Each structure stands twice: as C-alpha cells, then as structure tokens.
Amino acid sequence: MTGNSREYSKLASSGDDHDAESSAVSASSERHESLTLLPSKSSSSALPQSQSASAAGGASNGSSSSQSGTSGHTRVAVPSYQHSGALSSSAAHHTSRMTCGQRLRLATRNKLFLLSMVLLVSTITLAALLANTMSRGESTAPRNLVVMISDGYGPAQATMGRLYYNLVVKGRNLTDTNPSLPLPLDTFAVGASRTRSSSSLVTDSAAGATAYACRKKAVNGYVGVDSLDKPCGTLMEAAIARGMRTGVVVTSRITHATPASFTSHVLDRDNEALIAVQQLGTGVDLYMGGGRCYFTPQSASGSCRTDDFDGLQNATARGYHVLLDRAGFDAVRPVASSLPILGLFAKSHMNYEIDRNPSQQPSLAEMVTKAIAILEDATKDSDQGFMLLVEGSRIDMAGHDNDPATEVRDILAYQDAVQVVKQYAQKNPNTLVVSTSDHETGGMTLGVQTDYLEYPEYEWTPYPLQRQLNSTEVLAKAIRKLYDDGGNVTDYLVSTVLPVYLGIPSWTESDIQAILDGLQLYIGNGSDFYLKKPLNILVSNAAGIGWTTPGHSGVDVNLYAMGSSSSKIVGNLENTQVGQLIEEIFSFDLDAITKKVA
C-alpha cells in the first residue's frame, strides 16, 4: 500500500465520531494491503483520449479532496452533474485508495442507506394501498353482496348521462373547464367487462346475465343454462344455500332475461310462463318489479299465460306477501316479518322513468331502499348477510328504440339507485357492491355526422333531450289510438306531438311523411318500432346522437366495484371472470349447486 493510502486510512479513523470498532476495522485493513485495488495502466490507456484526460483530472481531484477537512474529519467532494465522467473516474480512483476497512464501512453505510430507502418506499406503497383499500371500503370481510346490472349501458351511455346531469340537471356551462361532476358509478370504476357469448360475439341479455350468474358462457337466449345445454348453479342459488337472505329488484318483468338468469333454468328466455313457476320455487325472499301478467291464469284479464297456473295464489300459499300497486308497496314495513315479498307493480314492464307516475309506481331507488332495509333487518341477528340483485332494466329497452331522451332518464334513475347502495355500503363496509352491464344497446355514438361529404363539426348536445316529455313508446300508442278513433294524425303531429311532446322546433314535410309511413307499417305488422323510429331520429339528430343498430353491440362495458374485497375485481375481465371472482370472494361452490339443479 502506498503512503498516501495509509495517510487516508489514518485520517478516516482518527475522527472523534469513530468508536473502537471502527479503529479495529481500520487496523485490520492495514494488515490486508493486497486487497486495495488500483486501476491498471492498461485499462486507463484503453479509454479514448478525452475520457483518459477526464479520468486523470478526476483522480487528482479525488486525492486532494480526500485529505482535506477540519478536526480530522473527511470532507466529501460535491459531485458535479455536468461532468459525470470526471466524477465517475474520481470515485473509482478514490475508492481504489481506500483500505479494506474503509471500503467495508462505506459498503455498510450504502447498504443501510439502500435498506432505509426500501423501507421508506415500502411504507409509502403500503400506505397508498391502505388508503385505496379504505376508500373502497375494504376494511372488513364481505357479508352482504349487491350485484347491479345496468342493462344496455355502455361507455357512450355513461358519457351521455354524465353530461346531461352536468349541463341540464345542474345547469353548468358548456364552456366550464372544471372537471365534470361525477355520477355515483364514476366514483368506483375499476375496469371493463367483455361481453361475448358462446354463440356470438354480440351477446343477448340472457347469455350475458348467465355469464355473471353462473360464471359460464351460454348460448344467446339461454337462461341459467350453460353452452352444453345443462342447468348451471347461480350466485343467487349459492347465497340461498349458504343461508343468506335474497332479493331481486328490477324495472322489467321479473321474469325477463336478467333476473331470470339468476333465479331459473330455461333454454328459451321467451318461456317466461315457465320462468315464473320456477321463480316461486327457488326460495328467493323478495321480488320487486313488473310482470304481473305471467302470474295470472289465462282466464284472468291481461294474462300473458296460456295455461291456468295462478302464480299469485301459488305465491300466497307459499307465504309470500303479494303487492300489486303503490299503496301495497308503501304499506310494507321495512322489517323482517314482511318477508317473503312478491311485488308486481305493473302488468308488464314498469314504466320508463320519463313516463312514471310516482303515485302509481315506486322508483327503482325507492324499491332498492326498502329492499335493503328489509333484508338488513332480516339478517341483523344472523351469521349470514344478504344478496340483492338490482337491474336498471329499461335502459336497454330505450336503447333498442334508439330513444336517447328516454334512455338518459332511466340512466339517472339507475344512478339514484346506485347512490342508495353506495351510501349503504359506506356505512356497512362488510358489503361488496359490483355493478356492470350485460352489453351495450343501440351502438350509440355521441357526435353523429350524417353528411360524409361535409367537414366534421365535432358536436353533440344534451339540451334537446330535456325538451322531450314522454317516451316515444307512449307517443306511438297515442298516435295509433288517434288513428283508430278516426282522428287527423297529421294535425296532431304538427300541433302537439312534435312541438310539445318532443320539443322539436322545426321539421320538414319529409319528416311528417316518414312518421305517417311508420304508422302504416305499425298497423300492418303490429310492431310500434316502425312508428317510434322516425320520432327518435328527429330528437337524435337534434342532439347529434347516432345509432348503428336497434339491437346490441359487441363492445366492452364498464365495470364498477366497491366495498369489502372489491380490490380483487379490477381490470379488463371476461364476464365469466366477474362471476368467478364473486364466487371466490364469498367462498361459494357453484359446482355443487350445479349438481343439485342438473
């Protein structure tokens, strides 16, 4: 070892802040001089000339800085980030002149520094994860499960609903550059769900709901039946087997595809008469929605059945409290003794929100509020919680009609129900909430351009949707009735339907003729779609909204989750994976249920 190396060793070990152990290490390093490595001349000469000069300068700087200081302490050279080459070479030369003990102390300090940084980063990461977990309400194990399906609600519908809420409902200015106010669902978005079925890249509601309910792909039209034509156990049936209390709240007929896929097993979704029979025997504690016609015998007025099965009488015999109107709904107390409940508040589907008379039908949010209160009371002294299925059913139906003004009202009604569930989950963090859609409906686009030869305008607006007062479903029936009664349809259109009920300020003769042609098609084949379509085109064009289909599209749909264990549901998932994750979180055994129902 050179004299300079020994001198550096003495300076490094002579400070007041070094203890006896440091001195011992320093002394030991002098006994192992051969471990001090110096850069060889060959390695130095191998550098390009400019780098060799930098290295030489760095060595000189390193040597002088290592021996300067006060009170015997070493002063560390301050690095210059503008001369990284010189710094690197200086550090190499500086280190090469250290004794073994000095390098050991340096290595120890480096390791301690790295360890402290790792611990700091780990602490910050864990804190962030904990904060995210707490924000999603994951502080306790799951007890309750709420599965929400926004039928037909795709990404474009989410945007339409949010901007309608901001600009129309809240009155914010279009030029406001502040972030849009979020809808309740926006606050716990976690990913997307892929929607294809086993028979098509574009699913229907039956196969889409079955994928969530059974975590198995199904053929379009299959209800609670897998792609091999076998009944498959559902999450609802697993919850019942567990001893959880269960409920179904929808705005469609309760025998419709989505609720049926969780509560029955039928090869044809249109066989709602059979679905009704099965639903009464499933053991679900609470049903609320529409569909009274499938629970009345064919002899009764307004029945949809072709047999004499009396579902209302059957339900009463099973102990169900049967509710058929708003008064019955209001009379039900939110206590366990109210169960079981069969609430059928419409002959067929419940009314669209835009048409709903609050004195005749409860809203989706009202039904969800009462259902949760009853199920919570029924499980307050139990080891098991409850499972509730909620569907905003008629979002999809407005999408089929390409009726954006009607659809946006049902979207906001669904968001009201989401807010009810969200607030409950925040107060009861042992609740898992999952919301998604079975598919998108209508192929909606915001910013339609009908003339492809013109330069794009990049524009759509929600304001025309506000002016529409009723769904075109209701308006089509009114127009048809006027025609059947011998009235003047053209006068009715120009004096009432277009300016008042649709809020259309201007139209052309071709617009009127398209409506009259649609009426004739309606009369000819019985489908009101032909009359609704030209009415919806007028409103859609005014808003700049386009449609690609009266059916479904194959796009991914948004996925939302909050509450207990919700962090496990994240990312772009196959629809079957969503059901599988719920099964795993609650330790359900759907295979065992499948064996029972097969």
- The binding site for Zn(2+) consists of 151, 391, 396, 400, 438-439, 552
Give the Cα separation of 205 and 129 in Å (integer): 36
Other C-beta atoms closer than 10 Å to the C-beta of 299 total 10
Catalytic annotation present for 29: no
Give the Cα separation of 147 and 149 in Å (integer): 7
559, 573 Cβ separation under 8 angstroms? yes
Residue 420: both structure tokens together:
């009810």
Give the Cα separation of 329 and 290 in Å (integer): 13
Question: Strand 431-436 relative to strand 557-563: parallel, antiparallel, unpaired?
Answer: antiparallel
The backbone torsions φ and ψ at residue 14, rounded to the nearest 5 degrees and listed phi first, read -100, 0
Other C-beta atoms closer than 10 Å to the C-beta of 450 total 9
Active-site position among 9, 54, 193, 205: 205
Q: Using alpha carbons only, give the angle 540, 544, 549 rounded to the nearest 5 degrees.
A: 55
| Non-local CB neighbours of 337 within 8 Å, separated by 6+ positions | none
Annotated binding-site residues for Mg(2+) read 151, 256, 258
343, 394 Cβ separation under 8 angstroms? no
Strand order in the sheet with 341-344: 321-323, 341-344, 286-290, 245-253, 386-391, 144-149, 431-436, 557-563, 189-194, 571-574
Other C-beta atoms closer than 10 Å to the C-beta of 49 total 8
What stretches of 452-551 show up as alpha helix (H) in DSSP?
463-467, 472-484, 489-492, 509-525, 529-543
Please name the amino acid found at residue 55.
Answer: A
Query: Is residue 261 classed as helix, strand or coil in its secondary structure?
Result: helix
Containing H/E element for 241? helix 235-242
What stretches of 179-227 show up as alpha helix (H) in DSSP?
205-214
544, 547, 553, 556 alpha-carbon torsion, rounded to 10°:
0
Give the Cα separation of 250 and 256 in Å (integer): 9
Q: What does the radius of gyration of the chain's CA atoms come to, in whole angstroms? A: 36
Give the Cα separation of 73 and 565 in Å (integer): 56
- The length of the chain, given as a count of residues: 598
Hey, what long-range contacts does 163-171 have (CB within 8 A, 24 or more apart)?
Answer: 163/462, 164/408, 164/411, 164/412, 164/462, 164/465, 164/466, 165/412, 165/415, 167/462, 167/463, 168/462, 168/463, 168/465, 168/466, 169/412
Give the Cα separation of 29 and 32 in Å (integer): 5
Which residues form the catalytic set? Answer: 205
